[in-house]
Structure formats: C-alpha cells, structure tokens
Amino acid sequence: MDLSVTIGSLHLKNPVIAASGCFGYGVEYAGVVDLSSLGGIVVKGLFLEEREGHPAPRIVETPAGMLNAIGLQGIGVRRFVDEKLPELRARNATVIVNVCGTTIDEYVEVSRILSDADGVAAIELNISCPNIKEGGIQFGCSLSGTFDVVSSVRKATRLPIFPKLTPNVTDVASFARAAEEGGADAVSLVNTFLAMVIDIETRRPKISNIVGGLSGPAIRPIAVRMVYECRQVVKIPILGMGGIVDARDALEFMIAGASAVQVGTANFVDPFIWPKLLDGMRDYLQRHSLARISDLIGTVDVESKHKEWISS
Ligand SMILES: Cc1cc2nc3c(=O)[nH]c(=O)nc-3n(C[C@H](O)[C@H](O)[C@H](O)COP(=O)(O)O)c2cc1C
C-alpha cells in the first residue's frame, strides 16, 4: 500500500504531519516517536529574534478542544538552525519551518536564513496566528497582505512555501486564491479560531491574553468545510488540519480535498497517536481495495448526495 503524497516538489512518505506549536521543535519528541516515520514535522513558529510569548495562564480546556494564547514563544530562527536543525537532520525528519514576522521584511529575512540552512524541506508562512498584535494575522486577514507576504517570500527562496491561512475570515477560499497568485506551492489550513472563555465566579477571562485560539475536535467540521471550499478554487495542494484525532478524521480531510493532514492538539492527549493514524489509513485502503492513498484526495461525492436527495 502506498501512503506517499506529493506537495508541489516535495515528496512525503505519508500524509501525516505534526502541526506547528503542538510538537515543539520535534527533537523533544524524539524519545517517543520515530521522527523519520512521519510525513513531516512543522516546528513551532519562528521569528528573527527570540520571543517570550504571553504570561501564564496561556491554555484552558474547552468542550472538545482547547483555547491557547502562547503568543508565539520561540528561540528565534538562528538558534533553531544552530541548535535544533542538526539533530532533526540526523534523525532524517522532514522539516517544515513555521515562519512568523511582524513585517514583510522579517518574513523574507527568516525565510532567507532557512534557505541557506541544510535540512529544511519547506516553509510554512504563519500569517494566521490570532494571538499576536503586530504582523501575522493582519497580513492573513487581508487579501493584498496575503499576496504581498507570499510573493515577497517567493522571490527570496526556492524552498516550497505553504502559507497557513486563518479561518477567522468570511471567505477563506479567496485567501487561498491570493496565496496561489502570490506563488505559493500549497496552502495550510486552518489555524485556530479566535475565541474566549470566562470564569463566571471571578468574571475574569481564563487566559491572560483575554482571547485565544480554539483548536481540537470542536473545530473539525468547520475546518473540513473550509478545505472543501478551497479545493474548489485553487489548483495547488492543501494541507488540511483542525481537530484530527484518528485516521477517520484524517481521511475525511483528504476526501474533502487535502493532499496531506496535520495533527496538533491530539498530540497533547496522546503522543503515541502517530503509528495509530498510519495503521488506520492502511486499514482503510485495504477495506476499500485502494492501492494508493493519493487516489482519495478530493474524492468527496457531492453529485451522488444530490441525486439521493432529489430522489428521496
Ligand atoms: C498550543 C498551540 C500552539 C500553536 N502554535 C502554532 C504556531 O506556532 N504556528 C502556527 O502556525 N500554528 C500554531 N498552532 C495552530 C496549530 O498548528 C493548528 O493549526 C490548530 O491547532 C488546529 O489543529 P488541531 O485542532 O489539530 O490542533 C498552535 C496550536 C496550539 C494548540
């Protein structure tokens, strides 16, 4: 059975990727997971310089999910290249770096540094973090901002670039199109949904940033719908995510149109999830007599559902 998929020029041994911010810099999990067994690892978002992020509390559980406002704490791109990348390379991990910026110049500079480093497979452009005030999501909530960041980074690197889209917009597909027009090789979606949790006894918000990003199974059907909508309007591949906890969920994203999937919050619940996802995918292929997982991408059968509805 062939689980491999291609994302532009990038060939992945399977479509299961660890999502940014939920898998550290990858090396932290090396004792638990064979990093080379994953389709890829998207490391925590990196700016040019180190960042502390927001004060605690930064996370709260919600029904079927969690709210976070970490505030993009990170070690900065140069320390990542010096301290983390060599080990990731030695462990044969397919490394995708989540690139952040407060200005377009910063996105370009971080991407340049990564292009010159050995062992980076692709860049995921984070224009969608809901938890920082400057840059980031402001680009991702504007069609021209999305185009400008993507096209500027495009000129600065030959690495594949995957802008990561925010779901906090009315028409996510138009942002996928702006990214495609800017020269993106694929789009990642979705980042977290802007949300809020209040302690009714103290009447205070539960996290220090007041609002944060909602992730986990609670968001999955919305994320699947967004992947489906984007699939209708762009030709570039989609990396789909949002609430995946098992192989069934991952396959749902692929049938909706994703060429690969990312798994975030579920890794906090079960760090041993990765082989289970891959086994579940193989089992599905066997049950459906399919030789290649790539044959499933975008195969949602909307026509038959229409006919069924008309004849009932
Ligand atoms: C604690 C936490 C930190 C995150 N940090 C990042 C980040 O640095 N960059 C990014 O693009 N997305 C970040 N995300 C978003 C996830 O990568 C993913 O898009 C989102 O959580 C939806 O997937 P999930 O429901 O499987 O977690 C973070 C999510 C969580 C829960």
Distance, CA 191 to ligand 1 centroid (Å)?
6
Buried b (16+ CB within 10 A) or exposed e, 15-39: bbbbbbbbbbbbbebeeebebeebb
Measured distance CA(206)–CA(186) in Å, rounded: 35
Q: Residue of the nearest CA to atom 31 in ligand 1?
A: 265
Contacts of 140 (CB under 8 A, 6+ apart): 127, 128, 146, 163, 164, 165, 166, 169, 175, 191
Burial class (CB in 10 A: 0-12, 13-18, 19+), 131: buried
| Local structure of residue 218 (DSSP, 8 states) | G
What tokens appear for 201 in the block?
A: 């006894």
Strand partners, 163: 125
pLDDT computed for residue 308 by the predictor: 84
3-class state of residue 278 by DSSP: helix
Q: List per-residue pLDDT tens for the chain, 312 residues long.
A: 999 999 999 999 999 999 999 999 999 999 999 999 999 999 999 999 999 999 999 999 999 999 999 988 999 999 999 999 999 999 999 999 999 999 999 999 999 999 999 999 999 999 987 766 676 778 889 999 999 999 999 999 999 999 999 999 999 999 999 999 999 999 999 999 999 999 999 999 999 999 999 999 999 999 999 999 999 999 999 999 999 999 999 999 999 999 999 999 999 999 999 999 999 999 999 999 999 999 999 999 998 888 887 887
Q: How far is the CA of 289 from the centre of ligand 1 (A)?
A: 34
Catalytic site residue 129?
Answer: yes
Catalytic site residue from 100, 129, 141, 230: 129
What pLDDT, on the 0 to 100 scale, is given for residue 133?
66
Is the C-beta atom of 164 inside 6 A of ligand 1?
Answer: yes
pLDDT of the residue at 162:
98
Nearest Cα to 29, choosing from 268, 243, 306?
268
- Domains of the chain in sequence order: 5-53+71-194+213-311 (3.20.20.70)
Pinpoint the alpha helices (H) of 202-295: 220-233, 247-256, 266-269, 273-287
Q: CA 116, CA 127: separation in Å to the nearest integer? A: 22
Pair type for strands 59-62 and 238-241? unpaired
From the CA of 124, give the closest atom in ligand 1: 11
Residue whose CA is closest, atom 22 of ligand 1? 242
In angstroms, the CA 47 to CA 185 distance is 21
Q: Coil, helix or strand for 269?
A: helix
The b/e string for 195-210 (b: 16+ C-beta within 10 A; e otherwise) is: bebeeeeeeebbbebe
Does 45 contact ligand 1 (Cβ within 6 A)? yes
C-alpha 302 to ligand 1 mean position (Å) = 30
Residue whose Cα lies nearest atom 5 of ligand 1: it is: 21
Determine the distance separating the centroid of ligand 1 and the alpha carbon of 19, expressed in angstroms.
6
CA atoms 55, 82, 85, 180: torsion sign = positive
- At residue 131, the pLDDT reads 66
